[in-house]
């Protein structure tokens, strides 16, 4: 019987992004930002945009694939897909969905994209506007639990308390991201280094998170191009092959009124094993990780649930030196991540994972053959993916 897997079936051959702006300050509308990122990815791959025949996105992206196809002059649109969920948990899932379409022949050249222009629409980090609430907000809002930081702080607080994890562990994650951003001229926080003293002096947002534990809010767009693996060598750059993609959530994870059975998790306890099974790898095989930071506590929990260390080892493992490229034990968020490069709803992490495999990162890890992305801790559904060089096939 043929094994059903995406491992080695597709590759990323082009990546593109717009400049990144502070939320609400983009000079362009969201749709134009999406087109700019897609055209940049085509230029990176060295292809005519009319070669594209599919699109995949996530988190209720507002940019309709049929409209994009018309704007780009595509001969035909063969595939369009949206991953459910309102957070960044769909970033790696969108890559997996695009890969599935290419691997089974539904499309041949699929763009994964995400665009945000918060000046046109709602600010992401704020409580939702309006005088009525339904679903989860109807339970939470009467008690003042409305913003993302408020909603997720309690889960992280439980995890940190139960495992006696010190504030220094979250601080190390923030310091590593800002350290890497200083080498990355694309990063919004390039030229704005962070010290441990400045971190400790920053204001509380909601305990256990200070200002520098929280992601930025940005406008812009990012895009990646996925093609069949047997065509991947025909493009301008070294291919980054998809070794695995997994998505989903835990038992009753959708019980989002703070009563899920597994409360103090980042939602990856069932997803991470699926990821490693498809990739045929173990945590020790991963050379570099890009982990979505909505908040540093979510990164910490995600790294534990992906097996890089136990909760009991977190205080000793999570030091700036261990997380910094090129020589750390686990180089993390090497472009600056959501904290210090930009918040393109996490899709900039996929681009950085590709750059690491290509050897083009501004904080390059030597011989980065296996590059992981973890998307959207504590939301539901969540997803992860692993990219590899040709040597891993």
Greater pLDDT, 75 or 133: 75
Q: Which residues contact 352 (CB under 8 A, 6 or more apart)?
A: 290, 333, 334, 335, 341, 361
Catalytic residues: 292, 343
Q: How crowded is residue 354: how many other Cβ atoms within 10 Å of its Cβ?
A: 26
* Portion of the chain with pLDDT greater than 70, in percent: 95
Q: What is the mean pLDDT of residues 245-250?
A: 95
Q: Is the pLDDT of residue 73 over 60?
A: yes
The pLDDT value given to residue 144: 84
Q: What is the CA radius of gyration of the chain?
A: 20
Q: Name the more confident of 253 and 235.
A: 235
- As a whole number of angstroms, the distance between CA 54 and CA 62 comes to 16
**pLDDT at res. 145:** 86
Q: What is the pLDDT of residue 339?
A: 98
179 confidence band (pLDDT: 50, 70, 90): very high
Q: Read off the pLDDT band of 215 (50, 70, 90).
A: very high
* Gap between the Cα atoms of 365 and 269, Å rounded: 27
pLDDT tens-place string over residues 259-291: 888 999 999 999 999 999 999 999 999 999 999
pLDDT at 124 exceeding the cut of 70: no
Q: What is the pLDDT of residues 14-62, one digit of tens each?
A: 999 999 988 888 889 999 999 999 999 999 999 999 999 999 999 989 9
Strands 370-375 and 382-388: antiparallel
Residues in contact with 181: Cβ distance below 8 Å, sequence separation at least 6, in sequence order: 187, 188, 189, 190, 192, 335, 336, 340, 341
* E strand intervals along 153-309: 204-206, 209-210, 218-228, 240-248, 288-291
Tokens of 258: 């703070």
- Which pLDDT score, from 0 to 100, does residue 1 have? 41
DSSP 3-state assignment of 225? strand
> If pLDDT is split at 50, 70 and 90, which confidence band does 383 have?
very high
What is the structure's pLDDT at 91? 97
User: Has residue 363 got a pLDDT over 60?
Assistant: yes
pLDDT at 207 over 70: yes
Instruction: Say how far apart CA 284 and CA 281 lie, in whole Å.
Output: 8
Which of 260 and 358 is assigned the larger pLDDT? 358
Mean pLDDT of the chain: 94
pLDDT at site 100: 98
């Amino acid at each position: 019987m043929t094994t059903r897997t995406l491992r080695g079936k597709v590759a990323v051959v082009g990546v593109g992004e717009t400049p990144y702006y502070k939320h609400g300050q983009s000079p362009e509308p969201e749709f134009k930002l999406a087109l700019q990122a897609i055209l940049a990815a085509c230029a990176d791959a060295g292809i005519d945009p009319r070669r594209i025949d599919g699109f995949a996105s996530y988190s209720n992206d507002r940019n309709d694939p049929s409209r994009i196809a018309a704007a780009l002059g595509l001969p035909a649109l063969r595939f369009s897909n949206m991953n459910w969920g309102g957070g960044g948990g769909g970033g790696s899932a969108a890559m997996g969905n695009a890969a599935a379409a290419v691997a089974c022949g539904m499309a041949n050249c699929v763009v994964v994209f995400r665009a945000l222009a918060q000046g046109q629409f709602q600010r992401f980090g704020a409580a939702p506007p309006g005088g009525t609430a339904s679903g989860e907000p109807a339970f939470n809002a009467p008690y003042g639990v409305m913003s993302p930081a408020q909603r997720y702080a309690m889960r992280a607080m439980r995890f940190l308390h139960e495992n006696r994890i010190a504030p220094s562990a979250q601080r190390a994650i923030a310091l590593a991201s800002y350290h890497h951003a200083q080498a990355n001229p694309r990063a919004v926080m390039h030229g704005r280094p962070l010290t441990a003293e400045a971190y400790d002096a920053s204001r509380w947002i909601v305990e256990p998170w200070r200002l520098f534990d929280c992601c930025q809010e940005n406008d812009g767009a990012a895009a990646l191009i996925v093609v069949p693996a047997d065509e991947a060598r025909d493009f301008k750059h070294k291919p980054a092959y998809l070794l695995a993609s997994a998505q989903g959530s835990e038992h009753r994870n959708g019980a989002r009124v703070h009563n899920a059975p597994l409360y103090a998790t980042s939602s990856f306890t069932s997803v991470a094993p699926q990821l490693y099974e498809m990739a045929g790898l173990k945590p020790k095989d991963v050379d570099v990780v890009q982990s979505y930071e909505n908040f540093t506590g979510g990164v910490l929990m995600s790294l534990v649930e992906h097996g890089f260390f136990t909760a009991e080892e977190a205080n000793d493992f999570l030091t700036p030196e261990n997380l910094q490229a090129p020589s750390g034990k686990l180089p993390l968020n090497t472009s600056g991540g959501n904290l210090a490069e930009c918040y393109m709803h996490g899709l900039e992490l996929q681009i950085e994972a590709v750059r690491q495999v290509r050897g083009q990162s501004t904080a390059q890890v030597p011989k980065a053959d296996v590059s992981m992305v973890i998307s959207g801790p504590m939301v539901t559904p969540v997803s992860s993916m692993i990219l590899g060089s040709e040597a891993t096939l």
